[in-house]
Chains A and B, each alone.
Chain A
Amino acid sequence: VTQTPKFQVLKTGQSMTLQCAQDMNHEYMSWYRQDPGLGLRQIYYSMNVEVTDKGDVPEGYKVSRKEKRNFPLILESPSPNQTSLYFCASIVLEIYEQYFGPGTRLTVT
């Protein structure tokens, strides 16, 4: 699983797309944010191309899944409370195993 960029600093309201790609042909993918003391929280997940659903903290985010390989996370008008470490995961649904990318550290000022 690959994620780009590795680091990003944005100003409030400056839109951004975090990229995630997997080469394992998995149907399921998911986005998480990691904040100190809170662990990882699920933002959105996708069951297949054009099929997505909200996780526990979807506010302020959008996703799209136009092809199986890619699952971008869109921040249309980011705010400082979206400063976080973001992880994408690709999932083998039959056995529930998740493979995480290296993360994107995002700072919104």
Chain B
Amino acid sequence: GENVEQHPSTLSVQEGDSAVIKCTYSDSASNYFPWYKQELGKGPQLIIDIRSNVGEKKDQRIAVTLNKTAKHFSLHITETQPEDSAVYFCAASRYTGGFKTIFGAGTRLFVKA
């Protein structure tokens, strides 16, 4: 079946450094790629997204890139802060024959002060 692979599963960085999380998807019909941040005891929260007709998007310290040919997309967090520590999920969505979303397994990010 369709899947989304996410790497790394755990990432530890020093405060102020950058963090990069990478995902690869298999469903070529996917056209929407969101990233979610999940803090302990809470539901996932959308932090940034990118659509298939765009290659890059930035929002302050967060950026996402998409390579549709290679079916890769990545999350970049610059100038990391301790409050960035959380679990991050990538996902790939499509609306063909119903709304379907496949999530990656998640990356646990630790930002050390």
**CB within 8 Å of B: which residues of A?**
1, 28, 30, 32, 37-42, 45, 47, 53, 55-56, 87, 91, 93, 96-103
Residue from A38, A40, A96 in contact with B44 in the complex, judged by beta carbons closer than 8 Å: A40
- How many chain B residues touch A (CB < 8 A): the figure is 27
A residues near B43, Cβ cutoff 8 Å: 1, 87, 100-103
Give 8 nearest A-B pairs by CB, closest first: A100-B43, A39-B103, A96-B32, A40-B103, A39-B105, A100-B44, A53-B98, A102-B43
Complex CA gap A102/B40 in Å reads 10
Q: Tell me the dominant secondary structure on chain A's binding face.
A: strand
- A39/B99 in contact, CB under 8 A: no
Report the number of A-B residue pairs with Cβ-Cβ less than 8 Å. Answer: 62
Complex CA gap A18/B41 in Å reads 17
Complex CA gap A71/B62 in Å reads 33
Contact of B45 with A by CB under 8 A = yes
Residue from B6, B42, B101, B105 in contact with A42 in the complex, judged by beta carbons closer than 8 Å: B101
Report the nearest B residue to A56, measured CB to CB: B1
Complex CA gap A42/B94 in Å reads 13
**CB within 8 Å of A: which residues of B?**
1, 4, 6, 9, 32, 34, 36, 41-46, 49, 89, 91, 93, 95, 98-106
Report the nearest B residue to A38, measured CB to CB: B105
> A28, A40, A53, A55: which has the most chain B beta carbons within 10 Å?
A40
A residues near B93, Cβ cutoff 8 Å: 96
Complex CA gap A45/B29 in Å reads 19
Closest Cβ of chain B: how far from A52's Cβ, in Å? 10
